[in-house]
Chain A
Amino acid sequence: MDIRFEKVSYVYQPNTPFESRALYDIDLEIKEGSYTALVGHTGSGKSTLLQHLNVLLKPTEGVVNIGDRKITPETDNKNLKPVRKKVGIVFQFPEAQLFEETVAKDIAFGPQNFGVSTEEALELAKKNLALVGLDESYLERSPFELSGGQMRRVAIAGVLAMEPEVLVLDEPTAGLDPLGRKEMMEMFWRLHKEENITIVLVTHLMDDVANFADFVYVLEKGQVIEGGSPQVVFQKVDWLKEKQLGVPQATDFAEKMQTNGTHFAHLPLTAEELADWIVEEGAKNRG
Chain B
Amino acid sequence: GVAPLGAVPLLKEHQAQFQMMEAAYYHMPNPGDSERVRSYMPRNQYHTPPYYIQSPLPHSDTLEFYQRLGTETLFFVFYYMEGTKAQYLAAKALKKQSWRFHTKYMMWFQRHEEPKVINEEYEQGTYIYFDYEKWGQRKKEGFTFEYKYLEDR
Partners in one complex: no
Q: Which positions in B face A, CB cutoff 8 Å?
A: none
Q: Which residues of A contact B (CB under 8 A)?
A: none
